[in-house]
Amino acid sequence: MKILNFGSLGIDYVFSVEHFVRPGETLLAKERQIYCGGKGLNQSIALAKAGAMVFQAGAIGSDGEFLLDTLRSCGVNVDLVRCLEEVGTQNALIQVNGEGQNCILLYGGANQALTQEMVDSAFAGFEKGDYLVLQNEVNLADQMIRAGHQKGMRVILNPSPLNEAIDRLPLELVDMFILNEVEGEGLSHTADKERMIFALRERFPRAAIVLTLGGDGSVYLEAGQSEPVYQRAYRVKAVDTTAAGDTFTGYLVAGLARGLAPAAAMERASAAAAISVTRKGAAPSIPNEEEVSAFLQRIGAETIHDESQEKFH
Ligand code: RIB
């Protein structure tokens, strides 16, 4: 079984700041780093590090060749990534403050210049039962959802970043949503964390829903079932939260794809995301399988009975 991740690839310019720049202010950053990023690329790396056979599709400009080297070095197949001449690679201008929180300004570049022909040709090598992983950082995501559904692929959408483009997607064709509480609120129209997963279920009855709730952990509700699976969040000292959601998504999907039960896949995804926030950068912060296993062993979390279960019942 193969995983097609049709998503964004980008260059992250990360500025370490005392506080986020205010309107009219000029601020001197403490440090600037340049990393590989883009939600698609980050998720492909997490998928590959978690052991999945992953094919990245998408586009870069001629300034983004090094992104492909990084993907290849992690074991991601990049044959379906086009290099465009007329437009640059996505750039993200990321401020990270002392608490490890970020704010991101995006120039979409090549990620917003995908064509129908690129979409059609990317799907040629995939079949029923393969997985399609998507985010909301490229144009033509609507066509990708339709193409994946038509092929009988399992369509998994991480609706991030949430913006008005989401409403134009055929969300009823999605088989699994992986989303955080901001995205959950936007799609469910409730801010009540305990109700949110059930409100999402009402709106998308045929989809599995996976909701991440920051310090409150994450919840998984399988399609057709009424009992959610809960996973607590692991407490770590956050240095940079960029790509924590991408790491969670990649590890979760890879785990499910190799047949792990949702609870086990969530445990590994949650551990991987926790490790990623203790490190700087997006793609470089994503741990490998051995690191995730060592983390879980260290905290004695192989069998989970956590407080978050009680919180939600
Ligand atoms: O999810 C994190 C990513 O979002 C960053 O790597 C940045 O490129 C933005 O796309």
Pairing mode, strands 208-212 and 90-96: unpaired
- Residue 20 near residue 105, CB atoms below 8 Å: no
Cα–ligand 1 centroid distance for 154 (angstroms): 24
pLDDT at 271: 97
pLDDT at 304: 45
Residues serving a catalytic function are 246
pLDDT at 299: 85
Burial group, residue 312, by CB count within 10 angstroms (0-12, 13-18, 19+):
middle
3-19+30-305 belongs to which CATH class? alpha beta
- Select from 112, 246, 286 the residue to mutate for testing ligand 1; criterion: most ligand atoms less than 8 Å from CB: 246
Residue 11 CB less than 6 A away from ligand 1:
no
Residue 282 CB less than 6 A away from ligand 1:
yes
Interatomic CA distance for residues 66 and 271, integer angstroms = 28
pLDDT at 300: 81
Closest ligand 1 atom number to CA of residue 90: 8
Length of the chain: 313
Backbone dihedral angles phi then psi of residue 200, each to the nearest 5 degrees: -65, -40
- The model's pLDDT over 64-82, given as tens digits with 9 standing for 90+, comes to 999 999 999 999 999 999 9
Which stretch of DSSP H or E encloses residue 32? strand 31-37
Cα–ligand 1 centroid distance for 90 (angstroms): 10
Burial group, residue 211, by CB count within 10 angstroms (0-12, 13-18, 19+):
buried
- β-partners of residue 267 are none
- Select from 94, 103, 133 the residue to mutate for testing ligand 1; criterion: most ligand atoms less than 8 Å from CB: 94
Instruction: Give the 3-state secondary structure of residue 8.
Output: coil
Question: What string of pLDDT tens digits covers the 313 residues of the chain?
Answer: 999 999 999 999 999 999 999 999 999 999 999 999 999 999 999 999 999 999 999 999 999 999 999 999 999 999 999 999 999 999 999 999 998 899 999 999 999 999 999 999 999 999 999 999 999 999 999 999 999 999 999 999 999 999 999 999 999 999 999 999 999 999 999 999 999 999 999 999 999 999 999 989 999 999 999 999 999 999 999 999 999 999 999 999 999 999 999 999 999 999 999 999 999 999 999 999 999 999 999 988 444 444 444 444 3
Residue 14 CB less than 6 A away from ligand 1:
no
> Sign of the C-alpha dihedral, residues 127, 133, 138, 144?
positive
Cα–ligand 1 centroid distance for 92 (angstroms): 7
Interatomic CA distance for residues 299 and 274, integer angstroms = 12
| Residue for token pair 């995501």 | 141
Cα–ligand 1 centroid distance for 36 (angstroms): 9
What percent of the chain is predicted at pLDDT more than 70?
Answer: 96
Burial group, residue 33, by CB count within 10 angstroms (0-12, 13-18, 19+):
middle
- Select from 242, 247, 277 the residue to mutate for testing ligand 1; criterion: most ligand atoms less than 8 Å from CB: 242
Closest ligand 1 atom number to CA of residue 137: 10
Residue 104 CB less than 6 A away from ligand 1:
yes
- β-partners of residue 209 are 177, 221
CB half-sphere exposure, 191, CA atoms < 13 A: 0
Q: Whose CA is nearest to atom 9 of ligand 1?
A: 38
Cα–ligand 1 centroid distance for 282 (angstroms): 7
Residue 92 CB less than 6 A away from ligand 1:
yes
Q: How far is CA 238 from CA 100, 234, 275, 287, 304, in A?
A: 5, 11, 9, 15, 22
Interatomic CA distance for residues 47 and 156, integer angstroms = 13
Backbone dihedral angles phi then psi of residue 231, each to the nearest 5 degrees: -135, 130
Q: Give yes or no for a cis peptide into 161 (omega within 30° of 0).
A: yes
Strands (E), 165-236: 176-180, 208-212, 218-221, 229-231
pLDDT at 184: 97
Token pair in block for residue 235? 């407490």
Backbone dihedral angles phi then psi of residue 153, each to the nearest 5 degrees: -80, 160
Backbone dihedral angles phi then psi of residue 105, each to the nearest 5 degrees: -110, 125
- Residue 111 near residue 59, CB atoms below 8 Å: yes
Token pair in block for residue 64? 């983004």
Cα–ligand 1 centroid distance for 286 (angstroms): 13
- The model's pLDDT over 13-48, given as tens digits with 9 standing for 90+, comes to 999 999 999 999 999 999 999 999 999 999 999 999
Residue 37 CB less than 6 A away from ligand 1:
yes
| Residue for token pair 């698609």 | 40
Token pair in block for residue 111? 């990620």
Interatomic CA distance for residues 16 and 244, integer angstroms = 17
Alpha helices in 106-172 (DSSP H): 116-122, 141-151
- The model's pLDDT over 272-309, given as tens digits with 9 standing for 90+, comes to 999 999 999 999 999 999 999 999 999 884 444 444 44
